[in-house]
Structure formats: C-alpha cells, structure tokens
Amino acid sequence: MASPQVVGASIAELADGVRARKWKARELVESFLDRIHRLDGRLGCYLLVDADGARWRADQVDAAVAGGRDPGLLAGVPIGLKDIFVTRGLETTAGSKILRGFVPPYESTVSTRLAAAGAIALGKLNMDEFAMGSSNENSAFKPVRNPWDLERVPGGSSGGSAASVAASLCAGSLGTDTGGSIRQPASLCGVAGMKPTYGRVSRYGVIAFASSLDHPGPFGRTVEDVAALLEVIAGHDACDATSIPSPVGRYRQACAAGLAGLRVGVPEEYFQAGMDPEVEAAVRGAIDEIARAGAKLVPVSLPHTQYAVATYYLVCTAEASSNLARYDGVRYGHRTAEASSLEELYSKTRGEGFGVEPKRRIILGTYVLRSGYYEAYYGKALRVRRKIADDFRAAFSKCDVLATPTSPTAAFKLGERNADPLQMYLADIYTVAPALAGVPALSQGCGFTRANLPIGLQLIGPPLGEEAIFRVAGEYQRRTDWHKRLPKDPS
C-alpha cells in the first residue's frame, strides 16, 4: 500500500485511494491527526479533536471497503466541522463560553449526511463567537492564525474552517456564512468556499446566529472539492421548513462543463475608486482570464449595494438578539455560580457567558426590535433587503454569473481592527449583499499580494444557480494554479 500524501491532496484523490485500497481511511486519519498534533498549537484551528471517534469511523469505512461495500462519495475523507454544527456526544460551543460543556443529544443534518457519505469528522473548528466576526479574534477560546502569515487573521467567522483546509489539517470542512463568513475567510486563506442558495443546505442542527441569513456551506482546496461536499450536504430536509425541495445539481460535472455561451456580469459598484490596488488588479486579471476562456463580459449595476452593510446589521442584530435569548443558564451551558433571584441568574449568566461582540449585537438587536420602532428599523431593513434582491434579479436577466472581489483587502494583522467594530464590519462589504439576497456565491483564489497573501475572486449566481458558478469557477481554476500553492507548515 502506498502511503498517502495528504498535504495538498484533493478530496477525490483521497476517496479514490480509499476505494481502490491504495490506502486505508485509518491511515488518512492518522496522517491528519499527526499534522494537527504537530501544527495546530501554532494555528489554533481546532477547538476539539475527536481522535478516538475519527479512528473508530475510519475503521468502519475500511471494514466496508474490505467487505466490498462502497462507503460513499467521500469514502474515508477526513473533514473538519465548524463548531456551530451540533454533534451528538461531542461538545459544541459555537466559540462561546456560554455553551461550554454543552454536549448535544442530536446531530446536525449536514454532518449526518457527510458521515453517511463516508466522510470522517476529525473535530470541531474554531470560529468567532456565535459566528459574529470577520477575523476569528472573537472566539472566546483562542484566535486562529492565517497559515500564510501567522501574524495575520484567517478571516471570519469560519476562520478555523478556512485555515484548517489551507494548512492541510483536514481535507475539507464545513462553515457557515451569514454575511460573508465562508467567502471572506476562504479568500484570506487562499482556499475555495461556497455559500449556497439560502435553503439549499439544511440549517437543522446549525446553531443560529441570524436565521434568515445563515447559510451552511463547504470549504475545499479546489472548486471540485467544494462541489463534491456540496453534492453531499445539499438537498431538502424535512427538519428545516426553509429548506428547498428541488433536486440537487451536478456540481462536479459543472466544474468541467466549460464556459461556452456563458455571460459574466461585472457590477460597477464592486469596483469603486480607492479599492486596494493589488486586490483590484488580481480580480480584474481573473475576469480577463474568464473572458479569454469564452465567457461574454457584461457590465451590470446593483444600485442598492451601498445600503447592504447597514441593512445587514439591522437584520442580523435583530435576529441574533432573538436567537441568543435561549442561553439563560437554565438548561445547558454556562450557569453563574450564585444568584439570589431569577433576574440575577439571567443577568449574571449572560453577562459572564457572552463575549463583547454578541453583547453588542444583542443590545443593538433589542433596540431594533423595540415596540414602536419595528417599522423604522427592522421593517425598513426588510424593504431595502427586497430592493437588494431585486437588484440581483435585474442583473441576472442580463448575465448568468457575477464576478467581483470577495474581500476589499487581503488578510490584515491580528489586533489591527479590533478597536473599531465599524472598520471590521466593512470587511463584509462585498459579501453581505448576496447573503441578504440569498443567492449562491463562491470565493476562490485568484492571486497573491506582493506579501504573498491570497486574494479571492467572488462568483455570484442567481437562486439555485450553483451549477453556473461551478462552470466559471472550474474553468478559471483549470487555467490557473493559484490553488496549487500551499503555505509552509509553521515551525
């Protein structure tokens, strides 16, 4: 048997090797566990490593292969789960002290589907507390460091999910994207990540931040890896009333389908004066490459883009203040040591358990939803949100996919933006509008800065237009080798 080379390997290579008995799932797991053991102390990707569970499941996959059964599309592929997916019997914290010690009695739909397809969860990945943040510095436990430069942030909130794939501490991972939390860290870490159409992937068992904006989705080194993971996790779920019943697309095939006849829109609002010149150059270069590959470029306009960030922060804080109400210390997670009244139990538990950012958003959201102010804030935000969705609808009458930058800058330094939440919120400027509209969007690498930091290209599609996105992403990736560059292992 060949010994598996897990660094930089694609999901398809690893799974094919398991099915063809080139290597065992157990060997893959051991290789990744060894890397985690050696390297994650410097990177901080994992909040919990389930070594025993992973070994046990790997042995199950190997037994299936030995018995002539196909363990599934993701046979033996070691993956990581953002710690926002509940896992039966494994502590799940959403990056918050208030959930410390919470061991869920049930499993999220998507992690169940991954396991059923043969994937092996290695553990739970670090994140900004309750997915609130763009740098992963809001984790209540430890920051995640960017594998390309340990002094820099990996992006957030799915920082652990992006960094672990970039550093080959898992072959693929799941994250969630509420305003950019998959795409922005994917961009900053130089991997591919997709926020599918709202409702395409079940939210059952995904700890809620902002229900109408939360999108679970995959990270991979390549767009094919993302496509494979999405094929497994997408599809209707009777446990999520907002889940879409239509059949799942053939995303892997789309990656190789070419660009013939495809129109790619370039929204002017995403290329404004003053944007980072390195980012602009890389993204414009990628768009030129896509045009050379056969796509027709179309200038389009999304006129309500400038209102997206404000709208986003009204909607997400309102919903967060509601979703975080359940953390009261009565049933699970943190409870204050001593309280002399019910009121005190609540205020002390929540005061001790939540970090600064959830507190800020709970207070903002509570303000937004006050009786008598609903119309002025939340009601108005919902109306603007419809205008933003209308912008996309109009644009997609002229093109099939939009191409934009993912993040206005490459990875910034730890601590650099901590003091100014508004500055931090602007990291989401290109990613929030697709989240508000619920349309699918993917980020993939399209270059590096002079400081060797990855730059991301965002491809946005119409509702359920994932296949069109994968056609562009697959073709662009075939013509470039940004995805083949790997960060050096930290010493």
Partner 1 sequence: MSVDRYEAVIGLEVHVHLASRSKIFSWSSTAFGEEPNSCTDPVCLGLPGALPVLNRAVVDAAVRLGLATCSHIRPRCRFARKHYFYPDLPKGFQISQYEEPLCEGGAVEFRVAGEARRVRLTRIHLEDDAGKNIHDDSGVSFVDFNRAGVPLVEIVSEPDMHSAEEAAEYMRALRTLVRTLGISDGNMEEGSLRCDANVSLRLRGAEKLGTKAELKNINSFKHVREAIEHEIRRQAAMLDRGEAVVQETRLWDPERGLSQSMRSKEHAHDYRYFPEPDLPPLAVDQDWIERARASLPELPENRYRRYVGGLGLSGQDAGVLISEREIADYFDAASKVCAAPAKKLANWIINEVLARVDDARALAAADLPVPPTALAELVDLIDKGTLSGKLGKEVFARMWQEGRRAGEIVASESVAVVSDAGLIEETCKKVVAANPDEVARYRGGQSKLLGFFVGKVMKEMGGKADPKSANEILRRLLG
Active site residues: 82, 157, 181
- Residue 328 or 390: the one with the smaller Cβ distance to partner 1 is 328
Buried b (16+ CB within 10 A) or exposed e, 376-409: ebbeebbebbeebbebbeebbeebbbbbbbbbbb
Parallel/antiparallel/unpaired status of strands 120-125 and 172-177: unpaired
Is 66 near partner 1 (CB under 8 A)? no
Is 328 near partner 1 (CB under 8 A)? yes
Residue 326, classified by CB atoms within 10 Å of its CB into exposed (0-12), middle (13-18) or buried (19+), is exposed
Residues 79-98 that bind partner 1 (CB under 8 A): 84-86, 92, 94
407: Cβ contacts below 8 Å, ≥ 6 apart: 155, 180, 183, 184, 187, 188, 279, 427, 430, 431, 456
Q: Which of 141, 307, 332, 448 binds partner 1 (CB under 8 A)?
A: 332
CB 371, min distance to partner 1, A: 5
CB 335, min distance to partner 1, A: 12
**H or E segment and range at residue 263:** strand 263-267
Residues 342-361 that bind partner 1 (CB under 8 A): 342, 346
Is 46 near partner 1 (CB under 8 A)? no
197: Cβ contacts below 8 Å, ≥ 6 apart: 244, 438, 439, 440, 463, 464, 465, 466
- 8 Å CB contact between 137 and 34: no
CB 241, min distance to partner 1, A: 5
- Residue 271 or 374: the one with the smaller Cβ distance to partner 1 is 374
- Torsion sign over Cα 351, 354, 356, 357: negative
Structure tokens that stand for 449 in this block: 């800065």
Is 161 near partner 1 (CB under 8 A)? no
Is 310 near partner 1 (CB under 8 A)? no
Q: Which of 23, 204, 476, 482 binds partner 1 (CB under 8 A)?
A: 204
Query: What region does 329 belong to: left with phi over 0, alpha with psi -120 to 50, or beta?
Result: left
User: Residue 24 carries which side chain, given as an amino acid letter?
Assistant: K
Q: Which of 141, 307, 374, 448 binds partner 1 (CB under 8 A)?
A: 374
Task: In whole angstroms, give the CA distance from residue 159 to residue 146.
Answer: 8
CB 306, min distance to partner 1, A: 25
Task: In whole angstroms, give the CA distance from residue 287 to residue 264.
Answer: 9
Cis peptide bond prior to 397, omega within 30° of 0: no
Q: Which of 39, 90, 191, 207 binds partner 1 (CB under 8 A)?
A: 207
- Torsion sign over Cα 295, 301, 304, 307: positive
- 8 Å CB contact between 138 and 357: yes
Residues 98-137 that bind partner 1 (CB under 8 A): 99, 102, 104-106, 108
Is 366 near partner 1 (CB under 8 A)? yes
CB 345, min distance to partner 1, A: 9
Within 13 Å, how many C-alpha atoms sit on residue 191's CB side? 40
Could you tell me which of 436, 407, 386, 433 has the C-alpha nearest to residue 210? 436
For residue 354, CA distances in Å to 181, 258, 358 come to 20, 48, 6
Is 479 near partner 1 (CB under 8 A)? no
- Residue 92 or 443: the one with the smaller Cβ distance to partner 1 is 92
Task: In whole angstroms, give the CA distance from residue 119 to residue 73.
Answer: 8
CB 329, min distance to partner 1, A: 10
Is 246 near partner 1 (CB under 8 A)? no
Is 245 near partner 1 (CB under 8 A)? no
Is 60 near partner 1 (CB under 8 A)? no
**H or E segment and range at residue 122:** strand 120-125
Structure tokens that stand for 174 in this block: 């799941």
- Residue 251 or 327: the one with the smaller Cβ distance to partner 1 is 327
**Per rule CB under 8 A, count of chain residues that contact partner 1:** 45
- Residue 269 or 319: the one with the smaller Cβ distance to partner 1 is 319
Is 301 near partner 1 (CB under 8 A)? no
Task: In whole angstroms, give the CA distance from residue 119 to residue 125.
Answer: 16
Q: Which of 319, 357, 400, 467 binds partner 1 (CB under 8 A)?
A: 319
Stretch touching partner 1 by CB under 8 A, among 14-22, 179-187, 326-334, 433-441: 326-334
Is 212 near partner 1 (CB under 8 A)? yes
User: Residue 417 carries which side chain, given as an amino acid letter?
Assistant: R
Parallel/antiparallel/unpaired status of strands 296-300 and 192-195: unpaired
Is 242 near partner 1 (CB under 8 A)? yes
Stretch touching partner 1 by CB under 8 A, among 27-35, 49-57, 187-195, 198-206: 198-206
Is 386 near partner 1 (CB under 8 A)? no
Is 7 near partner 1 (CB under 8 A)? no
CB 430, min distance to partner 1, A: 24
Is 336 near partner 1 (CB under 8 A)? no
Task: In whole angstroms, give the CA distance from residue 148 to residue 151.
Answer: 9
Question: Binding residues for partner 1, per CB under 8 A?
Answer: 84-86, 92, 94, 99, 102, 104-106, 108, 203-208, 210-212, 238-242, 318-319, 321-322, 324-328, 330-332, 342, 346, 366, 369-371, 374, 378
